[in-house]
Chain A
Amino acid sequence: MIQDYVMQTGINILLAWSVYIILLSGSLSFANGGFMAIGAYVSAVLTVKFGIPLILAAALAGAAAFLFGIVVAYPALRTRGLYLILVTVGITASIKVMIESIDYVGGIQGFTGMSGASPWHVVTLVLVVGAALWLISHSRLQRMLDAVREDELVAASLGINVVHLKVACFGAGAFIAAVAGSFYAHYLLFVRPEDFGILPSVFIVLYVVLGGMNNLWGPPVGATIMTLVPEFTRGLAQWRPTVFGILIVLLLLVRPDGLLPFRVPTERRLRNRPNNP
């Protein structure tokens, strides 16, 4: 039981961060369910059909999603706002349909034979990704990303290569979602295309919105709450989704910027150092 909770929570935290990384450069992505599918299927094929060890397979699946993410990012990131959201929804939808039509991976029936993922894999990965994000949040890169998120045009006129940063974020988000997807597939032992439709993508974005999108702590908080609260409210039986939905709406009415809305306070840190060396 505990293992299941750790596994689910950890994977959802990684997925929330994968959306957060893309959001750092100002793009809201509903494509991460699709990237997760790429990770799950690529790694599953590698371990089941080619006997490659799980860790290596997960890394290769991440690399595949990274490349895919970068290739689609160039055209996709020409659009902004609502249009970009629609494009990312389209990416998820087309990945799902694509997998459904490939008999090699079982098509609509799904794919099985994977095993071997343990909570330790996921916990380690959460720590690694968290450390990387912490490093970013305390670097000048974070400030450049903030600039891109606030005003792309001005950021460019200050010498920041906006396209480069946005594409890199998209690729990094795809990578993390895919590695999380790899562990997900090797823990559930069985995956179907419908596990990775639009709905999971929407849920991942909800984790981030609920937790707060301005700092690296918000997404894991949102993911943890949204993973565990439904688990511990089984007594509500069939009313569970309804009550849960109402709770989210109420929460966002009270805290529209999420549970942890603060921005990473680089300026506060500087204030404590009046005479910088």
Chain B
Amino acid sequence: MSALLEIRALHKQFRGLTALDDVSFDVAQGELLGLIGPNGAGKSVLINVVSGVYAASAGTVWLRGTDVTSLPTYQLARRGIARTYQNIRLFARMSVLENVLVADQRYSARPFRTLFAGGRREDCAAAEVLLERVGLAAKRDALAGTLAYGEARRLEIARALAGRPRLLFLDEPAAGMNELESEELAAVIRSFRAELDVIVLIEHDVALIRELSDRLVVMDSGKVIAVGKPAEVLADPRVIEAYLGAEEADG
């Protein structure tokens, strides 16, 4: 079986710094892949390269057997790649509902046609369903800039899903959340699983990642150091060392 997303020998160089060093792994149809590693391991850089925010220095990203490495960001989005951001990046001056509406790709692909169609009587139903599912229906008319932290994170997910993507990359969606909020988030992610081909989840919350992931990829210093089932990978001495530092692992 060929993988849906294949990452092959990906390199990313920022001047002197090697952010991604020969990164290769596959993600299969239907999989929820956890991507973990210490800060600065290159997880976010990897998402940025795959979603077209950064250009790869070398290597290839295959999506359903097509080389998508050098496609511009908007075309990757139209091929079904959606993402959230580690530092929340909502459109603060738009309402919650508008943040979701703007991501509807039926319109963004043909911007000038919207002048005469769907102006005043917009189809908000789909957007409202999405808001309902992430628990933000009551906030639909609030400005996105006024949302609380956990709400903003969930709105980012709703906005990412509004384009009907097939692949969703979540960059530390539970960062800064309390236990209750992360449990709600886990429920939200689980509820969308069946509608997506692939979810890639970057997360530091080990409990959350163990609970949600089918498989883990562990990165450290730009390299993939372990791939496998969560239980096995989290018991791997190299992974423990990367997370806790060499001395503690020795002692």
Contact = CB atoms under 8 A, between A and B. Distances in A.
B102 A158 contact: yes
A19 B93 CA distance: 21
A103 interface: no
Interface stretch (B32-40, B55-63, B74-82, B174-182): B74-82
Contacts of A267: 94-95, 97-98, 141
Given A138-B119, A140-B122, A156 B72 contact: yes
A158 B108 contact: yes
B94 A276 contact: no
Contact of B77 (A141, A158, A266): A158
A270 interface: yes
Contacts of B112: 141, 168
A164 to B, nearest CB: 8
A147 B162 CA distance: 15
Contacts of A135: 115-116, 119
A78 interface: no
Most B CB contacts (10 A, CB to CB) among A147, A154, A165, A270 go to A154
Interface string B93-106: 11101100111110
A75 interface: no
Interface stretch (B83-91, B194-202, B234-242, B243-251): B83-91
Contacts of A108: none
Which of A147, A151, A271 has the most B CB atoms < 10 Å from its CB?
Answer: A147
A160 B108 contact: yes
A51 interface: no
B53 interface: yes
A158 B101 contact: no
B52 interface: yes
**Candidate in B104, B111, B122 with the most chain A CB atoms within 10 angstroms:** B111
User: What bracket does the count of chain A residues touching chain B fall in?
Assistant: 20 to 34
B18 interface: no
B55 to A, nearest CB: 13
Interface residues of B, number: 46
A144 interface: yes
A140 B107 contact: yes
Contacts of B104: 140
A136 interface: yes
Contact of B125 (A141, A150, A161, A276): A276
Contact of B163 (A146, A151, A159): A159
Contact of B109 (A150, A157, A159, A162): A159
Nearest to A271: B141
A168 to B, nearest CB: 8
Contact of A159 (B89, B91, B108): B108
Given A158-B77, A159-B77, A160-B74, A143 B94 contact: yes
A266 to B, nearest CB: 6
Nearest to A154: B89
B102 A143 contact: yes
Given A146-B91, A153-B53, A266-B98, A159 B115 contact: no
A117 to B, nearest CB: 29
Contacts of B16: none
A234 interface: no
B73 interface: yes
Interface string A247-268: 0000000000000000100110
A139 interface: yes
A267 B97 CA distance: 8
Interface string B126-139: 00100000000000
Contact of A157 (B77, B91, B162): B77
B92 A150 contact: yes
10 contacts: A135-B119, A144-B111, A154-B91, A158-B74, A159-B108, A161-B111, A164-B111, A269-B120, A270-B97, A271-B141
Give me the 10 closest cross-chain CB pairs, A-B, nearest first: A267-B95, A159-B77, A156-B73, A140-B114, A276-B124, A158-B103, A159-B105, A139-B119, A160-B108, A159-B108
Given A136-B115, A156-B73, A158-B102, 5 more contacts: A141-B115, A143-B101, A150-B94, A156-B74, A168-B112
